[in-house]
Structure 1
């Protein structure tokens, strides 16, 4: 029978995995090599900060 310490350890492990996945998704959302529309839609769907619009080099 698992005790409270085992349950706490399992919850901490699950939270660690969740945070790692969230970090990976956040990195992808803010990576300008991926489609901006897709990144923005995913951020909105997950309730995360949206990526900034890409800057285009200004014409001089």
Structure 2
């Protein structure tokens, strides 16, 4: 197997793992008060920290002037 094909396979596997992780977050949190622009950011924070309380407690606050 050449290096380019191996690299592509690793990237695809990594993306598959990330997609599954994001689905776990979606399933665990369910409905939330974040809008369509905010939610991907909150979801990424949860993914990075493994701390679901960011969404459960509405701990991340967005401000229009920020």
TM range (shorter): 0.5 to 0.7
- Whose relative contact order is higher, 1 or 2, with alpha carbons under 8 Å and at least 6 apart? 2
Alignment coverage as a number of residue pairs = 38
Structure 1: unaligned runs, 5 residues or longer: 33-46, 54-60
Structure 2: unaligned runs, 5 residues or longer: 32-48, 58-66
Under a length normalisation based on structure 1, what TM-score does the superposition of the two structures give? 0.53
Under a length normalisation based on structure 2, what TM-score does the superposition of the two structures give? 0.49
- Higher gyration radius (CA): 1
Let me know the Cα RMSD of the aligned residues: 1.7
Question: Shift in Å at residue 5 of structure 1?
Answer: 0.3
